[in-house]
Chain A
Amino acid sequence: MPAEIDVTNADEIREVLRVAVSRAPALLIIDMSATTFCDSAGVQAIIDAYNLVAARNRSAATPTQLRLVVSAVRRIITLVGIDQLIPVYSTVEAALADAPAGT
């Protein structure tokens, strides 16, 4: 993800995430470790990705696990409660290493 996410590039990011979800991966990591600014448009793009994954998982035989990697924007991600929806990690390595949820 880019350094700054706001209304000017949120649509682009929403589309990138939509394509990623449509490929039906077993694990999808949104890497925001380089992101230092994320406003409500960025938050909305992540929630949209969460909703897409949730909708797909309701009918898919192999569900997608969504994970989020954050650094500087951890405060905003926690504030809006995204960490209650999507597991949040500090590094991509940690996100990859963690056992699948529910096992």
Chain B
Amino acid sequence: MADRLRDIQAITDAALSRLGDQELLTELLERTRAVLQADTAAVLLLDYASGHLIATAAAGLEEEVHQGVRIPVGRGFAGRIAAEHKPVILDRVDHSTVLNPILLSKGIRALMGVPLIAGGKVIGVLHVGSLTQRQFTGEELELLELAADRAASALASLLAREDRVAAEALQRSLLPSALPAEVSADVAVRYVPGAGKVGGDWYDVFCMPSGQLWVVIGDVTGSGLPAAVIMGRMRSALRAYALETADPADVLARLDRKMQHFEPGALATVLCAVFEPDLNRVRMCSAGHFPPVIASPGCAAEVAEIPSGLLIGVTRDARRQTATLDIAPGSLFCFYTDGLIERRGQVIDQGLTRLCQVVTPGPAEAACAAVMAALVGSEAAADDIAVLMLQCPPAEPKP
């Protein structure tokens, strides 16, 4: 009895909480192996994209981690635990029960494993193994489940942090590089992650060899690292298609085909605007994205009237139309994502009206600041927000 209490304490020890998540995991595996008098303890994490369990941390059988062992969910010992969300105890280890070649070749004779569950979902598997024949008991299973509980919460916070850091780094890496000096437009941008979490919003500005200036703004549905990764792929694919064809509708049709084939299930809205080198005309095509607000000198700002097209990722036969607009000298274009104008408890038209009221021609930086102050104010946004302002040069003074 005293032994069992000591064992439980070893695993639930409050001192573990003072460790970082990674150290906690290592120490927890060591302690689990010791209290269960096992020879190995290992954690496999579920990779949602591939449906594989990947060896992530181990005590006693580190080569599992070093060799990057992968087990498909549903197959083998660990795969069965993840698929059935239930513990499994094996007292016979051979090819019929175990897939992992390292467990087999090292001579593991008995195994006990439990699912790692966080937020109601299986995130991986924790298992212990013995080099000698033994039958793991119900009491030992309870101890392992206690350890799994601890490990799951440490892993969940570790994963969430890694995802956030990676998504933020990705977002930062995608900010457009400095515009070429020959561009006479004044451009300013804002990107604000929603609810402290980056998402799939992006913007892009680049020049073509023809001198045409491309502005792209888009929003991948979803948030966090998965959305940021898809956004990065869309951004570079779109640049590549822009080199192939100068028609924004054609570029979006190609991008749509690419997305449906390589990222099935992903949805995104994208708007492409192609400005003539002297900024007197723009051709635009929208795939489900809000049209820009255009403010010309002496006129009230208006939402650009361009045909709406189906968002990217649904069907191959979406109609894509390019609209051509003449630009009055000195006009300001405000491109944005839905996070800027969508608010709960408000119809979208209210947000658009408010945006039109605050967009006025002037330096792009100041226009960005004014729009963010008016529409975001002091409240943190729930959704991420991307804004790109482009101010066209004023009319040449008559000689």
**Residues of chain A having any CB pair with chain B under 8 Å:** 4, 6-7, 36-37, 39-41, 43-44, 47, 50-51, 72-73, 75-76, 78-82, 84-85
Contacts and interface: CB of A to CB of B under 8 A. Distances in A.
Contacts of B310: 80-82, 84-85
Contacts of B180: none
A79 B290 contact: yes
Nearest to A50: B314
Contacts of A36: 345, 347
Interface in B238-259: none
B344 interface: yes
Interface in B340-366: 342, 344-349
3 nearest A-B pairs in the assembled complex, by CB-CB distance: A81-B310, A80-B288, A40-B221
B347 A72 contact: yes
A44 B312 CA distance: 11
Contacts of A44: 221, 267
A53 B389 CA distance: 41
Contacts of A81: 287-288, 308-311, 314, 318
A84 B221 contact: no
Contact of B342 (A39, A47, A51, A80): A39
Interface in B309-353: 309-311, 314-315, 318-319, 338, 342, 344-349
A14 B241 CA distance: 34
B274 to A, nearest CB: 21
The SS class assigned to the A binding surface is helix
Contact of B267 (A6, A7, A47, A75): A47
A6 B222 CA distance: 11
7 contacts: A43-B311, A72-B347, A75-B349, A80-B308, A81-B311, A85-B310, A85-B315
B348 A76 contact: yes
B338 A40 contact: yes
A78 B315 CA distance: 16
Interface string B374-386: 0000000001000
Nearest to B268: A40
Contacts of B269: 40, 80
Given A4-B345, A43-B311, A81-B311, 10 more contacts: A36-B347, A37-B347, A40-B267, A41-B221, A44-B221, A73-B347, A79-B308, A80-B288, A80-B308, A81-B308
Contact of A43 (B221, B287, B345, B347): B221
A85 B342 contact: no
Nearest to A4: B344
A21 B318 CA distance: 23
A30 to B, nearest CB: 16
Interface in B379-398: 383
